[in-house]
Structures are given as C-alpha cells and as structure tokens.
Structure 1
C-alpha cells in the first residue's frame, strides 16, 4: 500500500518522542523510523520527515459489510457506506494526535512564563499529548502501577493477544485490537490475567471492566464533556485508580489539558527547579499532590498538563543513551520508576 502524507512539521509532532514517552504502550517499531499500531480497527503505520507525516492503513478482510444497504460501523468500529469501507484515517490521525492544537504557540507561551522551560524545551520540540481511547488509556495506566514502560507494554500486548480481535500482520508481526470492556467481564478473566503476569492488577482490571460495561462505554467518553475535577473524581471510583492514574487518563484521553499527573519525579522537579513548598511538604500526601498540580496550573495556565508532559519528557530522555544505530533504554532507570 502506498504512503500518503500530511503537512506536519517536526516542531508540531516528533513521533519518536511522543510514541516512546509513556503515553501509549502499543506502538511498535516496524521499519526504519517507522511505527505501527492496531488502532480503531486497522493497522496504522506512520513515519515522518522534517515537514510531513506519512501514513498508511491496513484494514482487516472481515471489515467488509455484508449488506450493501448498511451505512454503519462494524464490530471493528470502521465506517462503511453501502458496504464499502470509508477510509477515515486522516480524521483518525488528526484526532489521535490532537493536531488542531498549535504546539509551537504553546511552547512560546510556556517559555514566556517559565525560564526553566525556555532554557530546556527547544531541544525537545514536538512533544504533544495524544487523544487516546479512554478505555484503552484507563486499562494501560492501571497496569502502570509500580511498573516500568517495557513491562507495561508487554502486559498490554498480552492483553490484546488474549482478549482482542486479530486485525492482520505486518511481516511476521500480528496486530490485535484493544479488547472492549465486555471482553474482560467474565469470571474467568481475572485468573487468565494472573496467569499472564498481571498480579494484583488482574483484579482491578476485571472489576473496572465490569463497572464500565455496566455503565456503558459512553460513560467514559462522556467524561470528556464534564469539568476536570468532576471527571477526576469519577475515575477515582474505579478499582486500581488513584490520583495519578486518574490524572493520566484525564490528560491523555479526556481533553483535560490542565490535568497534571504527579509522582515523586515531578515532585522533585517542583522542589528543585520551582522552589515548591520551601520544605513544607515532606512527603507526597494528597494535600501535597493537589498543591503541586495547582502550582503548575498557576505557572503554565490552562494547558499545564501539556507543559508538564514536556518537562517530564526532558527528564525522561536524559536516561537514554545514543549509539551509532539506535536508541537504547537505560534499564536501571526503568526499574526505579
């Protein structure tokens, strides 16, 4: 299949940074500077040059609608008109990467407010927040508890292989759609997840799937249209969801740009670079967590979560080491995070 292209400069989107920085865990290197993922019922492949984003999509053979009069979405969520696939890949890409947001303008805004950002961010342009499916995003971050990026990715991959719908292959690599909540509600699911190495997270995923399935997937998507605090509190009702996971989901799939996920790394940045608390906050309590988020929201404005993602990524990429052929992740750092 031929590559198609969109005009997207590296300053607005840097694939290698965005797809590796811990937002989504299912993108795979599928060639020279090429990334692929099973997304919305298709296998989507991406690559880029300094001025354009290149894409191509492979749809499963089962995507064909049998009845020509049906103008619907099939079980993969793929649009059809009169039995013919409607290729909405451009629409999907624009939505998934939040391309309606002008990142260059935001970098300028944050730099004008924050000398630390102005000094360090120019070397890390093109880092933007994804707009993921809330259900996939939620389950992925339940898996993130006391975990590292490599293992989270392996767990999510095993979840898709075991419970998801196969979409096809690229070369020798199979791709599977992310399973909907209904696939994870049966009583046998928790045991299967434990056998896959999910540990205590198996119970959380199973119970949360039951809650979301009972409320309907529209409930999760509906949180995009309520205020940040309301969405955050609603997510805390789910099993395995604490304040940080709730903020990650708010930021990465529910359009809450002001959401600031806080962990010990972010807390250390706040104290070291921004003199947060001046020694008043001795531990990362609930009050400290909220205060750090408010501190950055006051500093960076309504897109504080986006700015936070850039600052966090700057710290993250310090632990990468370059060699002549590829980028190798420092495993000792991952074990600590």
Structure 2
C-alpha cells in the first residue's frame, strides 16, 4: 500500500489480538451495512477510519492483525490504547459462540443460518457518526450510502492522510455540519431530501444535547434513548433503533424495516404490525424477536440480516453473470 503525505502518515508496526473467526469475521461485519467507512483495500485486508485515525485490519487464523496510520502532531497511540480501541469497537468482551448456541437452541431457523455465518457481531460506534450516517440510509442501498458518506467526509471532515493516492478524511464534527449553508452544500453533493435532516439534526444536537449528551444516552433505558432520538429531524423508529443498537449499548434494540418485517411474517409466521410499518408495528415485531432471542435480540437479528444480505448479493451476482453469459452467447450467434 503506497502512502503519501510524508513521514507523519507512516504506519506504526503491525500488532495483533487473539480473535478466532467464531468471534469475528471482518468480511461479514464490515460489509453488512452497520458502518460505511471501511473498504477491502487488498484481498483480506480492510482499511477504514476509526477514532480519527486510519487503520488497516487483517485476520489470519486466530488473530486479528492491525496497523494504524496516525499524525505526529496528534501523538501516536501506544499498543495498549490501540488494542483497547479495537476491543471496544468490536465489543470483543462479548463472547459470541455462547450467544450463537443460545439463539440456536431457542430458534431452529437461526441455528440453520448461523452455521454459514459465524462471527457476526454488533459494532460499538461513535454515536454522532452512527446517527448522521443512518439518517442517510432512508430509501437507499449500501453502495450508494457508502459513496454519500465518503462525499460528506471529503467536504466537511478533517484530512487525515492519503493511501494509494486516495485522500482519507475524518467524519465531520457536529459544528462543521451545523452551518447555515450545510443543507445547500449537501444537496449539491446529491443528498436530496436527506440534506435537510443531516444538517437539521447536527444543529439540533449542537443546540440541545451536545455530543456528550448524545453519548450519555448509553446510560439511560432503551425506551428513553429511542424517544430522545426520535425527536430529532429525520429520525424515525428504525434509524433510532439502529443507533440504539450500534452506538448506544442497547443490545435489545431490533431495527425493523420492510425486510425484517417480511422475515418475521414469512419465516416465523408472525402476524404482526398490520398493513404498514407504524411505530406500533415496530414495537410488536421488536417484542416478538426479544421474546424469541432474549436480551441481545439485536445481535441475533444482525446475523440473520447479514445472511440475507450476503445471499441477496450472491443471487444478484449470479443473475448478472447469467446476463453476461447470455450476452456473449447472443453475440456468438450473430451472423458475420
């Protein structure tokens, strides 16, 4: 990997943590729509921004290897600090195999899926980044969301370094997104109606809770945290549940969209929610899965969501390959 911006951007030495695949699968967790700031920079290696530093991660056998690209003026973190950042981000203090066994014992469908999708765990993200990112997910798909977040960071975030001639920026601060011209700039970047919600929520947090107040929602009950989030511009129940689960330590939060609703109805035979995804429907479906999977229901749902997403991507890839093959066959049958 070629590095620019001089010696201050050089990586530290590679370090590793014990982490078997049953506890973490980078390829599943970092590509399944929990976060949008990681990319596979080379086969098996994932590069992204965490804690305003650029990291590259790689798994080999039972170890998670990493290197950090820092800036000299910020001070380079020591190994104990970087180890703890990763442990916290991936919540490695939560033993995943025991949870998989418990969920599988309670749910034969989960048991069937889980064998092919080990190591799917929920990230513990920065609340501001998680909230503003998930506002961008409305009526959107992962590749487009990822591109939007990249444009957001390039336009408003602090430049960190360049890797392989690719400029990498930190996620923007709240103050950077709370300006009076932010909405117009985001619309110019292709955010559409989401521009109003991103800028409005950033401004509402600056003028209200503040970043620390948002982080303190980790200590309040789930229902209270969700209620506070739903009072922000553009934040509905689903986005609030994503933030509760992935940034605010509410492992019982089950984000419900039409996809999860369909899983509940078609695979579990659950007659829930009426004909539309009202707040009541969200509550009923979440309660159903909490009753099935227990206090970490959001983690179990993440496994099923990842499995469905990966299978959908594989199916789409197969269809694309078939179309290309048909195209080649048709060209082959054309007269000279």
Q: Does TM, scored on the shorter chain, surpass 0.5?
A: yes
Match of 1:203 in 2: 196
In structure 1, the partner of 2:134 is 141
How does 1:5-154 map onto structure 2 within 5 Å?
Answer: 5-64=16-75, 85-86=77-78, 88-154=81-147
Residue 329 of structure 1 deviates from its aligned partner by: 9.7
Q: Partners of 2:192 and 2:111 in 1: how far apart?
A: 42
Contact 1:193-1:202 within 8 A present in 2 as well: yes
Matches of 2:87 and 2:184, distance apart in 1: 38
Partner of 2:285: 292
Tell me the distance in 1 between the aligned counterparts of 2:162 and 2:319: 30
Rounded to whole Å, the distance in 2 between the matches of 1:131 and 1:318 is 25
Distance 2:126 2:310 in 1: 26
For residues 153-203 of structure 1, the C-alpha deviation after alignment (integer angstroms, 9 at most, x for no partner) is 011001110110111122212211111101111111111101000111111
The 1:54–1:85 alpha-carbon spacing in structure 2 relative to 1, beyond 3 Å, is: closer
Which runs of 5 or more structure 2 residues have no equivalent in the other structure?
A: 1-11, 321-336
* Structure 2 counterpart of 1:274, from 268, 287, 298: 268
Q: Give the 3-state SS of the residue equivalent to 2:98 in structure 1.
A: helix
Partner of 1:319: 312
- Deviations 1:282-305, CA, capped at 9 Å, x for gaps: 332222221110000001000000
- TM-score, scaled to structure 2: 0.88
Write out per-residue CA displacement over residues 303-334 of structure 1, whole angstroms, 9 at most, x where no aligned residue. 00000111111111112239xxxx96989xxx
- Answer yes or no: is the 8 Å Cα contact 1:232–1:246 preserved in 2: yes
Task: Tell me which residue corresponds to 1:73.
Answer: none
**Which is greater in Rg?**
2
Counterpart secondary structure, 1:124: coil
* 1:254 equivalent among 244, 248, 254: 248
**1:276 Cα deviation after fit:** 0.6
Q: How many residues are treated as equivalent by the alignment?
A: 307
Conserved in 2, the CA contact under 8 Å of 1:11 and 1:126? yes
Distance change (3 Å), C-alpha of 1:243 and 1:329: farther
What does the per-residue CA deviation read over 1:13-37, in whole Å, with 9 as the maximum and x for residues that have no partner?
0000000000000102222211111
C-alpha distance in structure 1 between counterparts of 2:135 and 2:248, whole Å: 16
Name the SS of the counterpart of 1:318 in structure 2. helix
What's 1:307 paired with?
300
Q: Residue 10 of structure 1 contacts residue 49 of structure 1 at CA under 8 Å; is this kept in 2? A: no
Structure with more helix by fraction: 2
8 Å contact kept, 1:37–1:44: yes
Q: What's the CA shift for 1:2?
A: 3.0
| Contact 1:167–1:177 (Cα < 8 Å) also in 2 | yes
Deviation at 1:208, TM superposition (A): 0.6
Q: Is the 8 A contact 1:319 1:330 kept in 2?
A: no
Contact 1:320 1:330 in 2 (8 A): no
**Alpha carbon RMSD of aligned pairs, Å?**
1.8
Deviation sequence 1:89-120 (CA, Å, 0-9, x none): 11110000000000001000101100111111
C-alpha distance in 2 between matches for 1:116 and 1:290? 22
| Alignment partner of 1:241 out of 235, 239, 244 | 235
Deviations 1:65-107 (A, max 9, x none): xxxxxxxxxxxxxxxxxxx754521111000000000000100
Once the 2 structures are TM-superposed, how far is the Cα of residue 61 of structure 1 from its aligned partner?
3.4
Q: SS where residue 127 of structure 1 aligns?
A: coil
TM-score normalised per structure 1 = 0.87
